[in-house]
Amino acid sequence: MNVTVSVIKADVGSVGGHTQPSDELLAAVRERVEAERGKLLIDTRVFYCGDDISILMTHDRPLGDEAIHRLAWEAFRAGTDVAQRQGLYGAGQDLLKDAFSGNMRGLGPQVAELRLKERPNESLMILAADKTEPGAFNLPLYLAFADPMYSPGLLLSEDLHAGFRFRIMDVEHTDGDRIIELEAPERLYDIAALLRDTHRYVIASIWSRKYPDEQAAAVSTTRLRQIAGRYVGKDDPVAIVRVQKIFPATEELGPPFAIGAFVAGDTRGSHNLPLLPVPVNTPASTFFCHPMVTALGFSMRDGVLTGPVDLFADPVWEPIRHQIVRKAMEMRRQGFFQPAMLPISELEYGGIVARLRRLDDEFRVVADAS
């Protein structure tokens, strides 16, 4: 059976700052989508990571389907109404346009979608991050899909021997989406050269090379700044990853996240801190809005979901979290000093740009600078 899996995510308001949605807001979103279970949708789940609500939907519509995207839009609108009534912070933050127009593209919410021919034991991982950007998934996905040090399946399973194809998007390109397709392992160094630059190059999808029609992963690639033309909040990405059999195993995805690689985001979207794996429905941290990621495991049959299993909730993640938090605390000791604060090219808030412009006027050219 062919099934489409859609994850659409937005921040439409949170309690007392950029923390987490209120119970009432969440209930309003859930009520709207759950009314479609058995009608437009086969199945659905609604969960949050920090102040971002993800709507997971399975259905038989094509990718980018208007009815599916409209449903998510309406659910987020209903959530926004509650957020406004309750005076929540950032009510409707990620709904950048007033009206829905065809699909979510350019409207603000993050979208990851994947259409698949269901395996008899279809296994899925849904990733959702807060206080960071889509490139935050670059390193963990690269390691899980291209590096045998992290993904022994590349050596141990015939189905993975041929490697994977990476579709990488240039998200800074203003004149339409620019995509490059590179195959691992042959183009490993080219892939690495792009993915190291998480602000500009983002994994959009990953495909099996042995079974070229089989898509392994889909990542949301929206840059809110490109739409709004100013900072409105971080891009807080979501991703769908198929696991097991012809793809890396669920447990091969874990260790790449245990690195806690430094990513852009956190307070005012203007700093670098390590990406922290946390259980689902965790509020954003008052420790400088530490970037964080949740992972949910599902089984699916005929589009009906079983789960989730909270994949960062088992006891092993506790000491890993301690380590990553220590790394974050070290970085915070140097405050505004780069690379704790992002370089000027990436600073999301306008204030420092205006300050430097003013200072620029005070500079004088002198013959002898001493």
Q: How far apart are alpha carbons 237 and 260 in whole angstroms?
A: 16
Task: Kindly state the smallest distance separating residue 228's Cβ from ligand 13P, in Å.
Answer: 12
Instruction: Name the binder of 125 from Mg ion, ligand 13P, none, CB < 5-8 A by kind.
Output: none
Q: How far apart are alpha carbons 204 and 307 in whole angstroms?
A: 25
CA distances from 143 to 46, 260, 324 (A): 29, 13, 18
233 interacts with ligand 13P by CB under 6 A: yes
Tell me which of 52, 131, 142, 234 is the catalytic residue.
Answer: 234
When binding is defined by CB under 5 A, the residue of 113, 130, 133, 235 that contacts Mg ion is 130
Q: Which token pair is 311?
A: 């994949």
When binding is defined by CB under 6 A, the residue of 10, 11, 88, 300 that contacts ligand 13P is 11
Question: Which part of the chain contacts Mg ion (CB under 5 A), choosing from 84-92, 108-116, 317-325, 333-341?
Answer: 84-92
Q: How far apart are alpha carbons 203 and 238 in whole angstroms?
A: 12
> Which 47-66 residues touch ligand 13P, going by CB under 6 A?
50-51
> Which 128-187 residues touch ligand 13P, going by CB under 6 A?
130-131
Q: Within a 10 A sphere around the Cβ of 138, how many other Cβ atoms?
A: 25
Question: Which part of the chain contacts ligand 13P (CB under 6 A), choosing from 56-64, 67-75, 144-152, 261-269?
Answer: 261-269
Class of residue 316 by CB neighbours under 10 A (exposed 0-12, middle 13-18, buried 19+)? exposed
Q: How many residues are given for the chain?
A: 370
Task: Kindly state the smallest distance separating residue 19's Cβ from ligand 13P, in Å.
Answer: 9
Task: Kindly state the smallest distance separating residue 51's Cβ from ligand 13P, in Å.
Answer: 5
In the residue annotation, 51 being an active-site residue is answered as no
Instruction: Name the binder of 45 from Mg ion, ligand 13P, none, CB < 5-8 A by kind.
Output: none
214 interacts with ligand 13P by CB under 6 A: no
Q: Which residue is nearest to ligand 13P (CB)?
A: 233
**Which positions ≥6 away from 164 have C-beta within 8 Å?**
145, 146, 183, 184, 206, 207, 208, 209, 216
Task: Kindly state the smallest distance separating residue 257's Cβ from Mg ion, in Å.
Answer: 18
DSSP annotation string for 83-130: HHHHT-BTTTTT--SSS--SSSTTTS-EEEEEEEE--TTEEEEEEEEE
Interface contacts to ligand 13P, rule CB under 6 A: 11, 18, 50-51, 90, 93, 130-131, 233-234, 236, 267-269, 289
- Catalytically active residues, by annotation: 11, 231, 234
